[in-house]
Amino acid sequence: MSTFVHGEAVWDVARPRRPSRVAGVTMAGFRVGDLDALRMVPHPAVTLLLEFGAGSPVLHYAAGRRRRGSFAAGPGFGSGGAVWARGEDVECVQVRLSPTVARAILGVSPAGLDGAVVALDDLWGRDASQIRERLADVSSWEDRFALTGALLARRCEAGPPVDPEVTWAWRRIVAGRGLVRVDRLAAEVGWSRKRLWSRFHAQIGLPPKRAATLVRFDHAAHRLVAGASATRVAVETGYADQSHLHRDVMAFIGVTPARVAGEPFLAVDDIAWPIQEAPREPGLPPAAGPGAA
């Protein structure tokens, strides 16, 4: 258990000692006495939040809507910086799912989330209530991670896989930090650009170009949190210029690059999601294409 302090925010953060049983899955545990105005920052993963404590996180939308309790949200959820989380005595396991395994685990494609947050009860029914009760019954984070991992592995084995061509294209986008061309991806997997767009969008939840933009933004945002200047980040992450970076950051978070380091959602990653523990993507090795022997 580590403590994350960022301004007035003080959180207890736990990480599993062992990698997930399912490639493409990472987990972290959070205990927050006073979760006050946490802006949800778009991320390339599907977010799965399993709450079990005395309190409960509440998501607030720009239109005045609220969502309480455990939820799932598709890649890029929170674009525009208009979604905030609040709550007291919050305890939860947060899971980041690669979109390549999310369809099997959730029971629906990330595209079915339609850019919104969906109550886990609506997706999983009895599984959602059972995992909440079991997480509350155990006292250690390792036991909670084990329970969560077992549930995710069971659901992943029973769910439909993503096309290997789609998995390959997603892995190329992530490995290239978003600096890839869709027509080249289509050529690598032996599909037309139109077929790749259609299958990728249906199974990942975003069109390939939007996915690449999101992955590039995520890399740039974390470089800004690490203290790099906006000028340097724009050059290193493939933006045309600093103005291009500014537009993307504003579109995704709703703040300027200079204010990104003040976002706890991003700053906690060094503790909860260290870069050396990035999820292992399922699929074929980078040296071979999807049709290789």
* Percent of the chain with pLDDT strictly greater than 70: 92
Distance CA(109)–CA(112), nearest Å, equals 5
280 pLDDT higher than 70: no
pLDDT-based confidence at residue 115 (cuts at 50, 70, 90): low
Distance CA(92)–CA(83), nearest Å, equals 18
Q: Which residue has the higher pLDDT, 21 or 217?
A: 217
pLDDT-based confidence at residue 51 (cuts at 50, 70, 90): very high
Give the domain ranges of the chain. 2-158, 164-277
Least confident of 47-61, 74-88, 241-255, 279-293: 279-293
- 71 backbone dihedrals φ, ψ, rounded to 5°: -155, 170
Q: Which residue has the higher pLDDT, 277 or 36?
A: 36
At the fourth CATH level, the homologous superfamily of domain 2-158 is Jelly Rolls (2.60.120.10)
* Mean pLDDT score, 112-132: 87
CB–CB of 94/48 below 8 Å?
yes
250 pLDDT higher than 70: yes
CATH number of 164-277: 1.10.10.60
Extract the tokens encoding 269.
């990653």
Extract the tokens encoding 115.
């850019």
284 pLDDT higher than 60: no
**Residue 276, Cβ neighbours under 10 Å: how many?**
4
Helices marked H in the chain: 99-106, 120-124, 126-137, 141-158, 164-175, 182-189, 193-204, 208-225, 230-236, 242-253, 264-267, 269-272
Using alpha carbons, list the distances in angstroms from residue 35 to 12, 38, 278. Answer: 12, 7, 26
Q: Which SS3 state, helix, strand or coil, does residue 254 take?
A: coil
Per-residue pLDDT tens over the stretch 197-237: 999 999 999 999 999 999 999 999 999 999 999 999 999 99
Distance CA(252)–CA(130), nearest Å, equals 35
